[in-house]
Amino acid sequence: MTTTAATATATAAEPGTWTPAPGAAPLRRMIAAQAVQETRQLVRNGEQLTLMLVIPLLLLVAFSLEPLVNFGGGYTRIDFLTPGVIALAVMSTAFTSQAIGTGFERRYGVLKRLGATPLSRQGLIAAKTATVIAVELLQAVIILLVGLALGWSPDASPAAVVVVPLLVLLGTAAFSGLALLLAGTLRAEATLAAANLIYVVLLGIGGVVFPLTKFPAGARPLLELLPTGALSTGLRGALANANAFPARDVLTLAVWAVVSVALAARFFRWE
């Protein structure tokens, strides 16, 4: 018995022999694993899919079939609506859906258990943002195809290949930060009510389906500073008006993204 144990010890010490290496996985692997799990949960939730995909598509189809009105700026109805609905899809996924889902995860103790793992707050935010981006890619493809089927004719410059992803990425970061700030500081029921209320308000005043020119002149500068207003206006300029680079909208979204993510990382509570 003693000889066998000594032999086993010697064998385990030989070069090239596998030995356990306890410790946390690299941050990128933890984020990737969490993002995969988040995506699986999201695509299995019918209510979330309705909010993220069905509602934007219904608005696109319904408003595009309404009698033509003067939208201003030389836009046709479908040219105005398609970029706005893409902005709405970003808000639906990155803000409303994520805030509600995370709020109830926190209520049921899921986040408390995640807080006991090596995954940091910043890592959780990164994983949720990666999940949102993956869903948004699917949303964008479907919305663009439906818009083209309804007669949308984009007038985009070559710079749109860079500008549109940049706007969507900044908008996603801004809305994700706001969602996690809301879900990480309020009770689940309060988060549900606040997220839905903000969704409806920004749908009405964010330049998504109604032009900002329809609002009083004194209110327009403030509405353009909202993340929805900046995202919809920037996308519309890049896709429907051949604007090379909507610098003001990019800057507005960048400020929202930096501030909201910083606040979420600072005040997010696991319990």
What is the tens place of the pLDDT at every residue in 181-220? 998 899 989 999 999 999 999 998 988 888 888 888 888 8
Distance CA 142, CA 91 (A): 16
Mean pLDDT within 114-133:
75
Check whether 223 has a pLDDT greater than 60.
yes
Distance CA 112, CA 270 (A): 5
Burial of 46 (0-12, 13-18, 19+ CB in 10 A): exposed
91 contacts 167 by C-beta, under 8 angstroms: no
In a domain, 1, yes or no: no
Dihedral angle sign, alpha carbons of residues 168, 174, 175, 180: positive
In a domain, 144, yes or no: yes
Q: Which residue has the tokens 């090596």?
A: 118
In a domain, 108, yes or no: yes
Percentage of the residues of the chain whose pLDDT score is greater than 90:
30
What is the tens place of the pLDDT at every residue in 127-156? 877 888 888 888 899 999 999 998 888 887
In a domain, 234, yes or no: yes
Largest CA distance in the chain: 92
Q: Which amino acid is at 63?
A: F
In a domain, 11, yes or no: no
Q: What domain count does the chain have?
A: 1
3-state secondary structure 192-255: HHHHHHHHHHHHHHCCCCCCHHHCCCCCHHHHHCCHHHHHHHHHHHHHHCCCCCCHHHHHHHHH
- Which of 247 and 11 is assigned the larger pLDDT? 247
In a domain, 213, yes or no: yes
pLDDT (0 to 100) of residue 2: 42
Domain containing 188 equals 27-267
In a domain, 6, yes or no: no
pLDDT band at 79 (very low <50, low <70, confident <90, very high): confident
pLDDT (0 to 100) of residue 198: 94
pLDDT (0 to 100) of residue 4: 42
- Which of 178 and 2 is assigned the larger pLDDT? 178
Check whether 110 has a pLDDT greater than 90.
no
Distance CA 154, CA 157 (A): 9
> By three-state DSSP, how is residue 52 classified?
helix
- Which of 2 and 174 is assigned the larger pLDDT? 174
Dihedral angle sign, alpha carbons of residues 183, 186, 187, 193: negative
182 contacts 103 by C-beta, under 8 angstroms: yes
In a domain, 22, yes or no: no
Q: How many CB atoms lie within 10 A of CB 105?
A: 19
Q: What are the C-alpha distances in Å from 263 to residues 101, 166, 267? A: 19, 22, 6
Check whether 33 has a pLDDT greater than 60.
yes
